[in-house]
Amino acid sequence: MSFKKTQLAFVVATTMGLTGCFGGVDAPNFPDVVLPPPPATIIDVEVSGNVVDFTTGAAISGATLTFLSEGAATIEPRLLDDDLTRVSELTATNGSFAFGFDQFTDISNVTILVEADGFLSETIVFDINNAADENTLAFTLVSATAQGVTVTEQTNAVAGGVVATEVVIEAAATTGASKVTIPAGVVLQDEDGNAISGANVTFQVVAIDSDDAGDDSLSVAELLPAGLQDATSTDVFSPVAATTINFVDSNGNKITRFTSPITVAMNIPASRGVTEGQELTLKSYDEDTGLWTSETNTVTVGALSNGFYPGTFQISHLTTFAAGKVVANDKCATASSVNFTGDAAVNGLIFNMTRSISGRVTRTLAADAAQLTFADTQSASETANITVKDGSGNVWGSASNAAICGAVNVVLTAPSTLSETLNVTATCAGDDTVFTADTNAVVTYRAEDATGAFLTAPHIANGNYLLSALEEDATYNVNINSGIAGVSDYSVQITADGVDESAPITYDCNTGTGTGGTGGTGGGGI
């Protein structure tokens, strides 16, 4: 016999009524029910990536990512923790990071400033509106000890922010040099125009090779961020020299302004085609906005000496500066892109493009990526060197001296590798029949003996994540940032043998109370 819901409700009520009237009928005894782990926290867009050494490809641990909007810190991004905590900065543990955005995000893009001790900082402007399609990032920082770069630091005493006597700081690379002169009496100020406090100031000047001084040497083309060109002009800015200048007070706060200008002189190699008396265009890069700006000041070219022309200019703020020639009517009039053919890309491949004029571009490829397009304006006559590598440093594809105005084809060839899936599931302690698949974890992995970037495993379905580009029989360290509340980040090791893997979570589940029990205490863990 079957009952409709209304009839069933009446029968139960009648039975309970009889129990109340006649003590000889026992009340129904419903057993306790083990409640499954909670579902994974959902975020609209997850972003993950790596911070690596530009020269060696090694992951940089401890780098800081600061999120900025209109030059000020913003807490629009969210950590992928239990509460999706809003943050204005985070630390890249083991060189990898993850954050997200949701429907409550109020900005369309965010500037990400990446800094690490012993490295030059890097900034990008990240388009939140397209984050769902371009949700992997790679930051490639240049070491202060890299060939082609020379960093000079010195500390001087100040009182009330005033430089008592003239200060001169010099840095010399192989084919570039920078000299900064601060006159006596200059007051050093913060971004609000207030005189700095503290008794000491650390002055840092970075000299950059203007020409490529060897296969292992970095040059201006490799170090300047993209965005050099003015999108509203048909002319092209062609850099011939660059320098970075940073001052900090004794508390580590940046000094950004002065009461009167300071003088900078950069060496320009004779090979760069400048002449004595020439006035060069000066551009500055704002790392808080990720934008290049043309300065009203120009760079005056002095007399040739020992193969170099001094280029001198004055400034009243600090950042990265580039001096360059303006080439008329050299703007690329077509869309610029790189097309990938051959083997399919895997999630986390690092694309690096060094353009001869318009700055370098670094991206992380998503799985099956077929094309990258570049929105910034560039020269019609410039070329580019391109490499695509995985986290182990294997080269998947490359192109040398490719004409980048238009489309460039890069053939990807995967090394001999295999793939496996990794299942991430939280199972109740003491009852393995009750479980929840972790469908929103961030899973990253790297060979045990590797120092490069971590690859990010995309979620396929039901808590299964794809580990691709695995070298057979190699051991891999896998890090799991679980999306399930109460589960701390954890790691497992796997051996690449073509057999699917698992990274189980043992969860202390709650118990739903029936009439026959008292219920559980809840909690979480692994």
Correct CATH for 45-143+416-507 of 3.80.10.10, 2.40.50.100, 2.60.40.10, 3.40.50.1700? 2.60.40.10
How open is the CA angle 475-478-480, to the nearest 5 degrees? 165
Q: What is the pLDDT of residue 375?
A: 83
Neighbours of 513 (CB within 10 A): 13
Q: What is the pLDDT of residue 518?
A: 35
Mean pLDDT for the stretch of residues 509-526:
48
| Ranges assigned E (strand) in 128-273 | 136-141, 149-157, 167-172, 177-182, 188-189, 200-208, 236-249, 254-255, 257-269
> Which amino acid is located at 197 in the chain?
S
Evaluate if residue 59 carries a pLDDT over 50: yes
User: For 308, which DSSP code?
Assistant: E
CA distances from 525 to 84, 91, 154, 211 (A): 18, 23, 49, 55
- Write out pLDDT tens, residues 315-362: 988 889 999 999 999 999 998 999 999 999 988 888 999 998 998 888
Lowest model confidence (mean pLDDT) among 288-297, 402-411, 511-520:
511-520
- Write out pLDDT tens, residues 279-292: 999 999 988 888 89
Mean pLDDT for the stretch of residues 22-30:
53
Ramachandran assignment for 354, one of left (phi > 0), alpha (psi -120 to 50 degrees), beta (any other): beta
Mean of the per-residue pLDDT values of the chain: 86
Q: What is the pLDDT of residue 1?
A: 34
Mean pLDDT for the stretch of residues 356-384:
90
Please give the CATH architecture assigned to the domain spanning 149-327.
Sandwich (2.60)
Higher pLDDT, 57 or 25: 57
CA distances from 106 to 78, 82, 101, 288 (A): 13, 21, 10, 19
